[in-house]
C-alpha cells in the first residue's frame, strides 16, 4: 500500500487498482470538531480535482476533492452516525470513500509523506 | 447619506449594459393587457390631493370586496376570520421591523417566535422538523421537488392532476432551468373522487422517480388517504411530497406525515394571514429529520447559552446561500417573517382544541352548503369526501355563470375554466369554498342566484 497526499489535504492510500481517500490529520485539526460528513454513494464517478464529498465542522463547511479520477466503490457509512471519527482517526477509521482508479498515472503528481510534511510546515 | 437621483444618461448607460432599450423592456414578461398603457383614464395630470382621493375611491368602489359580499372563493386562498389580536401583536415594532436574526444575542424574541412557528408547522403536518417558512405554497412545492432530487439523486417528479395548476405552472418554469422532468396531468371530474389519480400515480412510479407530488385536499376539494401511495413511493426509493393549500383542514384530516409523506409543504395563508390581494403569503415546509441537511430555507434551533439558560439560534446554516453560495440547498435565503409571525399568533390563539373546532365549523358549513346547492336544478355536487371546498358540475359553462353571480354581488366560486383555460371536460366545473365566515344567508343567496343563472 502506498499513501499519497494532495495540496487540498486529502490522503489517498493505493492498493493495486483501488484506493481509499480521506482528509489528513492537519486538515481535521484546522477544521475543528467535525459535525457532518457527506460521502458519495457507490457508483459515483469522481474526477481528479473535483468535489467528491463535503465535510462540515463547527467552524466551516468544506468540499473534499477527489485526488484522482475513478468510480466510488463505497462511502464510509460510519461517518453518518459518528462524524467525529474524522477528528479521532482521520487517517484510518475516518476514511471518506474507496474508489477504483481510472488512470493510475494521475498519482504521479501527488506528494509522498515527506513532501506533504514539508508542504504543511511551509504553511 | 446624500440622495443622488439617476439622470437620463445614467439610466441609458445601465440599460445599455444589460441590452434593454427602455425601462418598459424590463416588464415584457407581464402580459400587455395587464400593463397600464398610459395615464389613468379620467385622472388629470395635476389635481389636488382631495380630488385624486375622491377619484380613486370611486374607482375602488367598483370592486366587489371579499368581506362585504357572500364569498365562496377558495382554490388555494381562503377567507377566514382573523382575530384583531393577530394584527395588534405583529405590528409591535419589535416584530414588525426586526431584521434577519443573525445575532442571537439581540434577536431572542424573533428567534423564539420562529421556533414556535416551526414547532406548530411540524406538528400540524405530522413531520419531525419544519423550516422558518418559504415565500408561499407554490415556491415551497417547487423546493420540495428540488429537495427530493438532491435526496434521491433522481430527476423525475410525478405530479398529481389534483395539484393546484398555479403550483404546477411555477414548478414547470423552474424545471426548465434545473433539468427536472415533471409528469403532469389535468384533473378529471370523476364522480365521488374528482381529481383523484392515485392509481395513475402508483402505476407511474419507477426507479427513476424522485418524488410523487400530490395535494390533499386536492384542487377540486377531494380528500384522500395517501398511505398506499406513500408505501408505493418508498418501495421504489422515491419520496412522497404532499401539498396542503388549506392547513385548517388538518384540524380534522389525518396529517400527511402520519400517512407516510417524506416532505410536506403548504400555503399558510389560511391561518392568520389575510387574502391580501393574493400575497404576501407564507410557505410552509416540513420533512423527516433524516433529510434535514437537504431541506431548504432558514432553520431556527433551541440551545442553551453560556450560563445554561434556554435560548434560540439559527442552525444548520451551511445549507444556506449566505455560507455555501451556489452549493446551497436553495436560492431562497430568507423567510416570510411577518406572515409566519401572524400564522404563529393565530395558531397560538386557536390552540389544538380551537383548531379542531374551527375545522369542524368549516366542514359543517361546507356540508350544509353542498346539501343546499345540490337541490338547485342544474347543479350536481361531484365530491364524495371533502373538507371545506367541493366541486359542482353545472348544466352550463361555469365561467360566465361566475360573472353573472358577481353582477348580483355574490362571489360564487372559482370556475375550472379560469383555472384550466381550454380544457373542455372541465368547463362546467365550479369550485366552491365554504369557511366559517359563510352564513346560512350567504349560502341561500348563492343558491338562489345560481338557480336564476342556470335557468
Number of domains, chain B: 2
Ranges of beta strands (E only) in B135-260 are: 156-159, 181-183, 209-215, 239-244
Are the Cβ atoms of B323 and A61 closer than 8 angstroms? Answer: yes
Question: What is residue B315's predicted lDDT score, i.e. its pLDDT?
Answer: 86
Are the Cβ atoms of A61 and B324 closer than 8 angstroms? Answer: yes
Q: Do residues B240 and B95 share a domain? A: yes
Q: Do residues B164 and B252 share a domain? A: yes
Determine the residue of chain A that is closest to B317 in CA distance.
A61
- How many CB atoms lie under 10 A from the CB of residue B239? 27
Return d(Cα B29, Cα B31) in angstroms, integer. Answer: 6
Question: What is residue B1's predicted lDDT score, i.e. its pLDDT?
Answer: 65
Q: Do residues B381 and B447 share a domain? A: yes
Q: Do residues B143 and B174 share a domain? A: yes
Residues of A whose CB is below 8 A from B318? 36, 56, 61
Q: Do residues B441 and B403 share a domain? A: yes
Q: Do residues B159 and B248 share a domain? A: yes
DSSP state of B427: T
Q: Do residues B156 and B292 share a domain? A: yes
Q: Do residues B311 and B209 share a domain? A: yes
Q: Is residue B215 packed enough to be buried (19+ CB in 10 Å), middle (13-18) or exposed (0-12)? A: buried
Helix (H, G, I), strand (E, B) or coil at B291: helix
Q: Which of A42, A59, A61, A80 to mutate to test the interface with B (most CBs of B within 10 A)?
A: A61
Whole-model pTM: value is 0.88
* Fold that domain A2-104 belongs to in CATH: OB fold (Dihydrolipoamide Acetyltransferase, E2P) (2.40.50)
Question: Closest approach of chain B CAs to the CA of A1, in angstroms?
Answer: 33
Are the Cβ atoms of A38 and B318 closer than 8 angstroms? Answer: no
**Whether the Cβ atoms of residue B71 and residue B79 lie closer than 8 Å to each other:** yes
Q: Does A35 touch chain B (CB under 8 A)?
A: no
Return d(Cα B200, Cα A51) in angstroms, integer. Answer: 39
Instruction: Walk along chain B (455 residues) and give the pLDDT tens digit of each residue.
Output: 678 889 999 999 999 999 999 988 999 889 988 988 888 888 888 999 999 999 999 999 988 888 889 999 999 999 999 999 999 999 998 889 887 788 888 899 999 999 999 999 999 999 999 999 999 999 999 999 999 999 999 999 999 999 999 999 999 999 999 999 999 999 999 899 999 999 999 999 999 999 999 999 999 999 999 999 999 999 999 999 999 999 999 999 999 999 999 999 999 999 999 999 888 999 999 999 999 989 999 999 999 999 999 999 988 877 777 766 677 778 777 788 899 999 999 999 999 999 999 999 999 999 999 999 999 999 999 999 999 999 999 999 999 999 999 999 999 999 999 999 999 899 999 999 999 999 999 999 999 999 999 98
Cis bond before residue B110 (omega within 30° of 0):
no
Q: Name B92's Cβ contacts closer than 8 Å, sequence gap at least 6.
A: none
- pLDDT tens profile B157-206: 999 999 999 999 999 999 999 999 999 999 999 899 999 999 999 999 99
B338, part of any domain = yes
Q: Do residues B276 and B130 share a domain? A: yes
Question: Closest approach of chain A CAs to the CA of B136, in angstroms?
Answer: 29
ipTM: 0.70
**Whether the Cβ atoms of residue B80 and residue B437 lie closer than 8 Å to each other:** yes
| Percent of residues in chain A assigned helix, strand, coil, to nearest 5 | 25, 40, 35
B35, part of any domain = no
Question: Closest approach of chain B CAs to the CA of A120, in angstroms?
Answer: 26
Query: Which residue from A78, A19, A92, A84 is spatially nearest to A52, judged by alpha carbons?
Result: A19
Return d(Cα B114, Cα B337) in angstroms, integer. Answer: 8
The boundaries of the domain holding residue B165 are 84-346
Q: Do residues B159 and B306 share a domain? A: yes
Point out the domain boundary residue: B346, B365, B400.
B346
Question: What is residue B442's predicted lDDT score, i.e. its pLDDT?
Answer: 97
- pLDDT tens profile A23-61: 999 999 999 999 999 999 999 999 999 999 999 888 888
Question: What is residue B244's predicted lDDT score, i.e. its pLDDT?
Answer: 98
Question: What is residue B254's predicted lDDT score, i.e. its pLDDT?
Answer: 97
Point out the domain boundary residue: B285, B316, B346.
B346
Could you say which of A36, A41, A63 has the minimum Cβ distance to residue B293? Answer: A36
Q: Name B136's Cβ contacts closer than 8 Å, sequence gap at least 6.
A: B267, B269, B279, B280, B281, B282, B283, B336
Question: What is residue B357's predicted lDDT score, i.e. its pLDDT?
Answer: 98
Q: Do residues B341 and B394 share a domain? A: no
Task: Kindly report the CATH number assigned to the domain that includes residue B381.
Answer: 3.90.1150.10
Q: Name B105's Cβ contacts closer than 8 Å, sequence gap at least 6.
A: none
Q: Do residues B275 and B183 share a domain? A: yes
- How many CB atoms lie under 10 A from the CB of residue B113? 26
Q: Does A36 touch chain B (CB under 8 A)?
A: yes
Amino acid at each position: 500500500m502506498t499513501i499519497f497526499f494532495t495540496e487540498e489535504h486529502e490522503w489517498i492510500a493505493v492498493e493495486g487498482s483501488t484506493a481509499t481517500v480521506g482528509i489528513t490529520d492537519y486538515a481535521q485539526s484546522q477544521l475543528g470538531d467535525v459535525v457532518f460528513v457527506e460521502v458519495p454513494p457507490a457508483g459515483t464517478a469522481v474526477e481528479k480535482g473535483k468535489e467528491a464529498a463535503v465535510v462540515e465542522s463547527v467552524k466551516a463547511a468544506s468540499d473534499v476533492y477527489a485526488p484522482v479520477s475513478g468510480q466510488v466503490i463505497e462511502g464510509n457509512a460510519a461517518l453518518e452516525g459518528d462524524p467525529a471519527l474524522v477528528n479521532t482517526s482521520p487517517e484510518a477509521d475516518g476514511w471518506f470513500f474507496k474508489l477504483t482508479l481510472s488512470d493510475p498515472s494521475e498519482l504521479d503528481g501527488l506528494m509522498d509523506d515527506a513532501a506533504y510534511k514539508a508542504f504543511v510546515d511551509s504553511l | 447619506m446624500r440622495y443622488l437621483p439617476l439622470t437620463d444618461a445614467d439610466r441609458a448607460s445601465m440599460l445599455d449594459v444589460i441590452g434593454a432599450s427602455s425601462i418598459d423592456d424590463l416588464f415584457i414578461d407581464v402580459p400587455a393587457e395587464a400593463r397600464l398603457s398610459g395615464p389613468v383614464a379620467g385622472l388629470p395630470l395635476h389635481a389636488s390631493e382631495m380630488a385624486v382621493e375622491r377619484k380613486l375611491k370611486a374607482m375602488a368602489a367598483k370592486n366587489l370586496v371579499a368581506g362585504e359580499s357572500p364569498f365562496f372563493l377558495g382554490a388555494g386562498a381562503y377567507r377566514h376570520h382573523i382575530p384583531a389580536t393577530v394584527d395588534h401583536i405583529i405590528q409591535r415594532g419589535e416584530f414588525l421591523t426586526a431584521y434577519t436574526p443573525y445575532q442571537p444575542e439581540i434577536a431572542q424574541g424573533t428567534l423564539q417566535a420562529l421556533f414556535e412557528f416551526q414547532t406548530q408547522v411540524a406538528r400540524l403536518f405530522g413531520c419531525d422538523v419544519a423550516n422558518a417558512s418559504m415565500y408561499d405554497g407554490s415556491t415551497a412545492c417547487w423546493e420540495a421537488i428540488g429537495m427530493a432530487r438532491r435526496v434521491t439523486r433522481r430527476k423525475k417528479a410525478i405530479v398529481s392532476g389534483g395539484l393546484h395548476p398555479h403550483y404546477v405552472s411555477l414548478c414547470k418554469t423552474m424545471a426548465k432551468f434545473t433539468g427536472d422532468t415533471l409528469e403532469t396531468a389535468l384533473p378529471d371530474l370523476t364522480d365521488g373522487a374528482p381529481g383523484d389519480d392515485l392509481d395513475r400515480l402508483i402505476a407511474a412510479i419507477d426507479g427513476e422517480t424522485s418524488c410523487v407530488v400530490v395535494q390533499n385536499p386536492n384542487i377540486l376539494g377531494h380528500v384522500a388517504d395517501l398511505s398506499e401511495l406513500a408505501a408505493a413511493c418508498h418501495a421504489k426509493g422515491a419520496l412522497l411530497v404532499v401539498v396542503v393549500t388549506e392547513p385548517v383542514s388538518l384540524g380534522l384530516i389525518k396529517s400527511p406525515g402520519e400517512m407516510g409523506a417524506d416532505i410536506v409543504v403548504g400555503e399558510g395563508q389560511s391561518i392568520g394571514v389575510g387574502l391580501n390581494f393574493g400575497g404576501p403569503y407564507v410557505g410552509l415546509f416540513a420533512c423527516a429529520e433524516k433529510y434535514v441537511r437537504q431541506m431548504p430555507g432558514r432553520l431556527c434551533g433551541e440551545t442553551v447559552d453560556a450560563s445554561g439558560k434556554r435560548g434560540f439560534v439559527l442552525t444548520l446554516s451551511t445549507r444556506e446561500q449566505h455560507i455555501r453560495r451556489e452549493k446551497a440547498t436553495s436560492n431562497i435565503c430568507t423567510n416570510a417573517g411577518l406572515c409566519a409571525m401572524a400564522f404563529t399568533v393565530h395558531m397560538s390563539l386557536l390552540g389544538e382544541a380551537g383548531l379542531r373546532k374551527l375545522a369542524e365549523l368549516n366542514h359543517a358549513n361546507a356540508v350544509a352548503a353542498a346539501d343546499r346547492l345540490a337541490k338547485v336544478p342544474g347543479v350536481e355536487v361531484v365530491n364524495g369526501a371533502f373538507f371545506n371546498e367541493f366541486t359542482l358540475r353545472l348544466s352550463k359553462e361555469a365561467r360566465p355563470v361566475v360573472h353573472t353571480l358577481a353582477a348580483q354581488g355574490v362571489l360564487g366560486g372559482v370556475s375550472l375554466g379560469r383555472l384550466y383555460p381550454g380544457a373542455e371536460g372541465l368547463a362546467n366545473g365550479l369550485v366552491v369554498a365554504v369557511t366559517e365566515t359563510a352564513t346560512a344567508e350567504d349560502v341561500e343567496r348563492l343558491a338562489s342566484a345560481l338557480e336564476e343563472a342556470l335557468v
